[in-house]
Each structure stands twice: as C-alpha cells, then as structure tokens.
Structure 1
Amino acid sequence: MSTAPIISKVWSFCNTLRDDGVGYGDYLEQITYLIFLKMADEYSKPPYKRNVGIPAKYTWPSLKAKRGAELEAHYLSLLRELGARKDVLGQIFTKSQNKIQDPAKLYRLIDMIDEVQWVSMGADVKGDIYEGLLEKNAEDTKSGAGQYFTPRALIKAMVECVRPEPGKSIADPACGTGGFFLAAYDFLTNPANYKLDKDQKTFLKHKTFYGNEIVTNTRRLCLMNMFLHNIGEIDGDVLISPNDALIAPSAQSFDYVLANPPFGKKSSMSFTNDEGEEETDDLTYNRQDFWATTSNKQLNFVQHIRTMLKTTGRAAVVVPDNVLFEGGAGEIVRQNLLKTTDLHTILRLPTGIFYANGVKANVLFFDNHTAAKNPWTKEVWFYDYRTNIHHTLKRKPLRFEHLEAFIECYNPQNRHKRKATWDATKNPEGRWRKFTYGELTARDKTSLDVFWLKDKSLTDLDNLPEPDDLAEEIIENLEAGLASFRQVLAGLGKTVGT
C-alpha cells in the first residue's frame, strides 16, 4: 500500500493551519494526540476489547460529538487530564497544549483522522506514514527539528553493518524520534535476516529497545513513532526515559548502542543571575567512570556509550570531526577508546546530508571487551565517503544505495576478511584502507582525522558540482558558519540578529 497519498493529505492541512500561526512541529504534536486517541478507540472495540485507560468522557466519540467553543474547551480538558497520568498514555500527553485555536479547523483535523482505521493498518504502513510526517517536519530547517532527525539512509546502513541479533538489547542515549530503533526493528523482522519464534517476537516488542530523550516534544514523537511501529503497548511500560543520559551511569548494560548524539560541542545549562538576567554556563559531568572530565558534549556521549555496553557489546555512533582530532580531553578519550575497545571502522561522511547545515560527521564502529593488558584495537579501517562526494538535501539527498559500496567493504558477515580497495600504485583513489594501532597512536594527539584522497575540485574544474548544487553547498556552509558564530557570541553573553 502506498503511503504517499495519506501523508500528502494529512500534511496538506498544515498549510491551512500555518496561516493561523501553527508551525510544523505544533501540527505534528496535534496529529500525535489525535491519532493516539483514535487508535485507543479502535482498540476498545472487537476483536480487541481493550481498556487502555482513557476515561469515558474523553473518548474519541466525545470529540466527534462536539463543535465550536464546546469542542475547544473539551479538548483542552482532555489534554490536561491525560497529561497527568504516569503510564505511556501520560507520557504521550505530558505538557500537552492545544495549538489549534480555530475550533472549526480542529474538527476538520479530527474528521480527517477519523477516516483512517489505524489499528487494522499494517505496522509498516502506519509507521511509514508517521515517519513521512517526521521527515517533512525535519525539512523545516528554521524550526530546528532536523537536529532530532538522522537521515534514514545512514541509519539503515549502520544497522546493516552491525546486524543486531534477536533476543538482544538495543539502546540509544539520545534517541530523538526513534530512527535507530525502527531501523533495527525492520532488520530484525525481515524474514531474509531472521525467522523469529514467539518468544523472540515478545522480547522484540517489550524488552529490546531502551532510550533517553530530554526534549519533551521530541520524546513524545518518539513514543508515538515506536508505538505505531508495533514496539511496546499502548498501556505498557515506558521505554524512553526523559532523563539526561549523561548525568549518571546507565542502570543496565546493553548488547548494542546505535546513536547520533546531538550536534554542538558544549553542554550547557540556563540560569537566572542575581540581576534577573538569563545566562548560560558550560555543563561538566563529573563521572568517575569517564576517562576525561569535559564540557564537550560529544566526547561525553562517546564515553557514556562505552560504559553502556556489555563486555561483548557493540556500538555504532555518529560523531562530528572534532571528536577525531581535538586535543586535551579528546586525545585522552581516543587513546582509551583504542585501548579498551576494538575501534575497527570509521566512516567519513560528506556534508549536505544532515538537516543541520555544514555538519562534518563520521561513524565510529567499536566492540567492547573485558579489561586487558594490551590494546584491543589492532587496526582501524577507514572508508572515505567525503572527498569528492557532493550531496545536497534538495537536489541530491543521501540514498541507501550511496552507502552500499561501504557496506560491502565493511563485510558485515565477517569483518575479519576485509580487503582494501586502496593501493598506493594500483588504485590510489581507493576509498577503503586500514591503519595500524601503532600508526594512529604515533600521529599528533592520536588524531583519527585521517584522509588520503586528493580533492579534485581544487585542481580539476571538470570535477566541480553543478552550479545549483555548488550554490546550495555554499549557502549551507555560510549558514553553518553563522550558526557557529552565534554560539560563540552567545557564550560571551551577546546576541546577533538574523
């Protein structure tokens, strides 16, 4: 079943609401509340006959039966009451507000959602619909929603490399809208990969996924996204914690960690000074299980993720370039990561694939191990999918097929039988090569920012991107630079206009 018509219909109504000041994110929130209520109503009927805890006066028919000011007042009361609950229902509706001030338009939205039988629809179909809405929301770069949305092609490629197994736990300490969980779920339920028995299916639904997301609205979207993909129960345990994952060690260890921690180097907290003015201060996590104490958020996530893993655990983590070359705490983290884990693969990513402009990122793949006298990392394989690669969000977005060559080189079935494509004489343009532990630790600051291919755009005019692509890339880089400049000024207690 094609989901495009439903996505288009549901999303097109947002254009009408934007005239009333309802942004993409606010619209998606209202969609979340209403779809959840409609599904709860469907579950209350045969053949399910389940009571999911919604009071009789706040059921879906109660919304359908009202109009005008009466509907608006009833909807506000519903959101307030359901948001006070402690179960999944309360987590979906926590701090919920009605952002649609026109009761007539609210009713039109209710009527549109009422036309779809959500429960009987396949998990893959309704999940794709919601994922489509999340991606459209991420495309609205001004809202900042893109920072919680990792390109699904990249997520799928990472999962294909890690190949999670049934009956094992998967965590993401900064899970955003749940993209890694859904890709792992799709991989595990794919008959080409595994034929799950009853116990494995139960474990997958209830005990496989655990995450943290501190942004309330994003966490709400994640819970709904997972539920629509058949993960968890409408009246079951809450799988996504609202707590800051970096505050303390994880209460349990996991078989896999798949993550793209939030962009930006510094963790910070806001407070009001003695003069009543709001200020920000760098937030440093003093954890005895960390190798280094730093306010660098990305380095802290790398350290935290290593502590989350079982001694046989495996991780795939997206990190910005500074994690690979920064001195001080960065050098300490890299040295310890090479010693205590098998950091076997680094994928260098191009710009133009994230909704946050100008991001230069990489994927670290490492396996945890028990303490040992000698370093666990023997060699690190690098795949350069950045040099002479041009992507833009609109004209040439990243697709899964773009990363298939990397997956083939990674050799997920047996990564110990890899073959380099780079050769100094036979193929100097090869993107896949390895460096030994000794070669890497001999580099200044144990830098893992390794590259060997020549940028042809500097010497070969024929290799330049199309003018439109080049212009879009320049704009992205300028916007990224401006965003960085704003962060610097914000740190100095100043602001800069748009």
Structure 2
Amino acid sequence: MSASEIVNKVWNYAHVLRDDGVGYGDYVEQITYLIFLKMADEREQTGQQIKVPDDFTWNHLVKLDGDDLELQYRHTLENLGKQGGMLGTIFRKAQNKIQDPAKLERLIKMIEKEQWSTLPADVKGDIYEGLLERNAQDVKGGAGQYFTPRPLIQTMVEVMQPKPTDTVADPACGTGGFLLAAHDYMAKHATSKKEQRHLKEHALHGNDIVDSVVRLCAMNLYLHGIGGDECPISANDALAKEVGDDRVELVLANPPFGKKSSITVWRKKMAISNNSKKK
C-alpha cells in the first residue's frame, strides 16, 4: 500500500469520528499517540531500546476492548505525559478525545495492521505530512498558522543553502516544515558520520507557543528519523526567552500570525550575532 493510499485510509476514518464530535485536529492528535506507541512496540521486538514504561505499551491496548480499553488508553496518555525527552513532549497534556470504546478499538486495529517501523523514514514522513496537510485544508479555524505550503518552504531553503555542519532554528516551528526541508537539503551534503550524527541529533531546534502543535512537530521529526533521547522541539514563546548561548547559524521561519500571547515582552537590549548567512 502506497503512502497516499494509507493517508486516504486513515483519513477516511476521521469522518466517522467527526459524527461523534471529534474534530480533525483532535483526530490527528490521537493518531499521533497511537502510531508512536505502535512503532515503539515494533522497535522493542527488534531489540531496539524503547523507554515506554511496561504498563503503558501498545501490547496492553490491543488486548483490551470496551470500557477497559478506554480506561487503559486514558491512563497511558496521562502517565506518558509525565515522562521526559521525546516521550514527554509528544504526550504532554495528552487527553483521550475518542469516548466511544468501539471506535477507539477500530482505530487501534487499523493501525495494528501496518508495520510502521519497516516503512522507510521518508514514507512514514509522507504519510504523516499527508495527514497534517489534510487537517490544514479541512479545518478552517486558523489551521494555516502552523502549516506553511511546502513548495514555499522548499524554495526558501534552496535559497539559503544550509550546510550539514550548521545549526538551524525555527522559533515558530509549527508542524516542522522548515526544519524537515532544511534537514533534507543538508542530508544530501552530509558525507561523514560526524556530520550525519550532528544532523540527526543536534542540527535542528524549534519551538512553538501552542502545545498541540509542538506535539505534531515532534512526531513529524520522529517519523523522519530525527532526534536523539532529547526532543529538539520545545513548547515556549520565542519572544519571551533570553537569547543566552543558544546561538545558531541560520533561522528559517514563517513569522507567526493568528495567535496572540498574553505575555508583554520588554527588552533593554537585544543580542544579535554578526555571523550573518552569506551566499
């Protein structure tokens, strides 16, 4: 089954849940939680280290039905949100939005049929990007604030030409389009193992003011094979934190709109690096 076929299959079920009051954005979040747990289970079976606590693994969910399933799923989300690193970022403030146990079971069985870890990173990424794009198209209330058109992003990255040794940041990262495009461009020029490791674990940094969007971005990068034990994405207001030592070679961003902060930011001075990007 191709990436587009999987996207259509998974997205079609969103319409079923829509009748129960589950919005498209909520649906994508629930898909995020479940696919992550499924991939963690697959990787554990192949001997790869996974840090999901034993009581809250995918294996527990697939064995249950009815109210027991809904209760286990709710406890899983609550407990994983208390963890650190990538796990804590993806499940931060997670809640179950699928109240009908039968429909939750059907969704779990649909995800269970696919072997997500065996799919190439670009295919998994295409599937998830497809879901994000569908959500941006179908949700009218401000979805555009976190989904910049990918052709525009691609053009900007090609103009800036990031090097594989650069550190790239997006202070309003949304679902991670700029970071992923930068990663793909830099990966073509990363020839040494040192550069490849830097690209995977240290090259990309992003933050966003919206918790749910940070979750989507973290999962997007994770499915593309980006990130180490610590998540490169954080939930905070880029305008409300000091620059400090967190300097980068390149900033790629679509200036935020559609979201107002309750914080008033005052700056006596602003540190600006003189190491500007040159063609």
Q: Pick which of 67-76 and 140-149 moved more.
A: 140-149
When normalised by structure 1's length, the TM-score is 0.54
Q: Which residue of 2 aligns with 1:196?
A: 191
8 Å CA contact 2:24–2:139 kept in 1: the answer is: no
DSSP 3-state at the match of 1:259: coil
Compute the RMSD of aligned alpha carbons: 1.7
| Higher-RCO chain (CA-CA 8 Å, sequence separation at least 6) | 2
Q: Which blocks of at least 5 consecutive residues in structure 1 are unaligned?
A: 270-282, 291-305, 315-366, 368-414, 416-498
Deviation at 1:171, TM superposition (A): 0.3
C-alpha separation between the residues in 1 aligned to 2:80 and 2:141?
A: 27
Cα separation, partners in 2 of 1:52 and 1:285, compared to 1, 3 Å: same
| d(CA) in 1 for partners of 2:2, 2:57 | 30
Q: Report the Cα distance in structure 1 between the residues aligned to 2:54 and 2:208, rounded to whole angstroms.
A: 31
Aligned to 1:77: 75
**Do structure 1's residue 149 and structure 2's residue 147 form an aligned pair?**
yes
- The answer as to whether partners of 2:89 and 2:234 remain within 8 angstroms in 1 is no
Answer yes or no: is the 8 Å Cα contact 2:208–2:237 preserved in 1. yes
Alignment length (residue pairs) = 278
> What code does the residue aligned with 1:125 have?
V
1:171–1:209 Cα contact (<8 Å) kept? yes
Q: Tell me the secondary structure at the aligned position of residue 30 of structure 2.
A: helix
List per-residue Cα deviations over 1:426-452 (Å, max 9, x = no partner).
xxxxxxxxxxxxxxxxxxxxxxxxxxx
Select the structure of larger CA radius of gyration.
Answer: 1
2:59 pairs, out of 58, 61, 67, with 61
2:106 aligned to 105, 108, 114, which one?
108
State the secondary structure of the residue aligned to 2:256: coil
> 1:286 is matched with which residue: 236, 257, 266?
266
* Runs of 5+ consecutive residues of structure 2 not aligned to the other structure: none
1:122 counterpart = 2:120: yes
C-alpha distance in structure 2 between counterparts of 1:196 and 1:123, whole Å: 19
* 1:226 matched residue in structure 2: 221
Corresponding residue of 2:36: 36
Matched position secondary structure for 1:171: strand
Q: More deviation in 217-226 or 52-61?
A: 52-61
Structure 1 segment 136-175 matched on structure 2, within 5 A: 136-175=134-173
Contact 1:170 1:209 in 2 (8 A): yes
SS of the counterpart of 2:274?
strand
Counterpart for residue 88 of structure 1: 86
Match of 1:9? 9
Q: 1:289 to 1:4 in 2, by over 3 A?
A: same
Q: Which residue of 1 aligns with 2:256?
A: 262
Higher strand share: 1
> What residue is the counterpart of 1:238 in the other structure?
231
Higher helix share goes to which structure? Answer: 2
Choose from 261, 273, 276 the match for 1:313. Answer: 276
Identity of aligned residues (%): 52
* 4+ long deviations beyond 4 Å: none
1:267 deviates by 4.6
- How many angstroms does 1:61 deviate by? 1.2
Structure-2-length-normalised TM-score: 0.95
- Displacement of 1:261 after TM fit? 1.9
Equivalent position amino acid for 1:91 in 2? T
2:109 alignment partner AA: D
8 Å Cα contact 2:190/2:196 also seen in 1: no
Deviation at 1:201, TM superposition (A): 0.6
CA distance in 1, matches of 2:139, 2:49: 40
CA shift in 2, pair 1:268/1:35, >3 Å: closer
Hey, what's the Cα distance between the residues in 2 that align with 1:75 and 1:284?
38
- Alignment match, 1:176: 174
Task: Give the whole-Å Cα distance in 2 for the aligned partners of 1:64 and 1:85.
Answer: 22
Task: Report the AA paired with residue 220 of structure 1.
Answer: R
